[in-house]
Homo-oligomer: A and B are copies of this chain.
Amino acid sequence: MISPLEVFRTYIKEKGLRNTPERETIIREIFSVHDHFDVDELFLRMRDQKSKIAKASIYRAIPLLIESGLIKEAFFEDGHLHYEPIYGHSRHCHLRCICCGKVVEFVEEEMDNIVDRLAKEYHFNILDHRLDFTGYCAECNNKMNDQDNVDTKELL
């Protein structure tokens, strides 16, 4: 399987742009963890690896990483965008706990059918979709119930 770096190099050449060690470092860091990230987090991770890359360079790289199919926007939370690597990852949806932030990923087989149906019905050329569920994970749900019970007892 072609590596993310190779995919990016091909994209860069195709677009007549220039590849740089900075961009490769960014890609390597993203694909060394394979998890959701935001710009600040990625910047700090790279700083920990002794990288001196400016945050502006990360911001400037992101549209290219999206265009080349390496990453995509995952969700907007806490006032900023979060991204995730998608190259080499199966299309998946998210189940997110609004209490502790835990994210469960899962593949929803039904989605392809829905996309096909919608494309026909609304004459859309559908390129992407995002399916996110939010609620409380088992732990947080239990914690809340316990808390409620405490409150109730206090009131008695």
Contact = CB atoms under 8 A, between A and B. Distances in A.
Interface of A: 76, 81, 95, 97-98, 104, 106, 108, 110, 114-115, 118-119, 121-138, 141
Nearest to A131: B131
Contacts of A135: 119, 124-128
A133 B122 CA distance: 12
- For this chain, the copies found in one complex come to 2
A95 B124 contact: yes
Given A114-B110, A130-B130, A125 B104 contact: no
A125 B132 contact: no
11 contacts: A76-B81, A95-B118, A97-B124, A119-B135, A124-B133, A124-B136, A124-B141, A125-B135, A127-B134, A128-B134, A129-B131
